[in-house]
Amino acid sequence: MVPTQLGFDPRLQLIHTDDATAALLAAIRNPVRGVVNVAPSGAISLSRTLRLARRPSLPVPHPLFESALTRLGDRLGTGALYGDAVRFLRFGRGVDNSRLIEEVGFEPASDAEATVRAFAASLRGRKLGPSLHPGTLVDRFAGASR
């Protein structure tokens, strides 16, 4: 069961781990000035993401969701981070990746939907949890640049 906010269905842009590392490499090879959004093309709603991942959702009224996550954030000492996550999981966000494609010259191989499908495929029969922690990201990065 994945708690969601009742009556809201945010759009998400989850990036494939392979694309995330490749984007970092591309940024090193072709440095550009300023902020560049690293995001896949397209977007996918949270409800469809959960359906593809075969996880039932548990809609919770958003004031309750917010207070629960804020309390969790306070306990973990990250407060504001969780507050931002609540807003993100209510409204979603879509960012434009045209600078990444045109200026850095890197186009993510998987779009938002393909990323979720790949994640769902790797997930079959396992519990939903982060597929990546900073350690594996560093390992991958080191492996890819060699």
What residue ranges bind other proteins (CB under 8 A)?
A: 5-9, 11, 41-45, 47-54, 61-62, 91-92, 94, 96, 112
> Any alpha helices (H) in 8-146, and if so which ranges?
17-29, 46-52, 62-76, 80-91, 98-99, 112-123, 134-145
Minimum distance, C-beta of residue 77 to other proteins, in the bound complex (Å): 29
Nearer to other proteins, 21 or 111 (CB): 111
Minimum distance, C-beta of residue 129 to other proteins, in the bound complex (Å): 19
Nearer to other proteins, 21 or 40 (CB): 40
Minimum distance, C-beta of residue 75 to other proteins, in the bound complex (Å): 27
Name the residue among 52, 39, 57 with its Cα closest to residue 119: 52
Nearer to other proteins, 114 or 137 (CB): 114
Q: How many Cβ atoms are within 10 Å of 52's Cβ, its own excluded?
A: 16
Q: Which residues contact 59 (CB under 8 A, 6 or more apart)?
A: 3, 4, 5, 6, 7
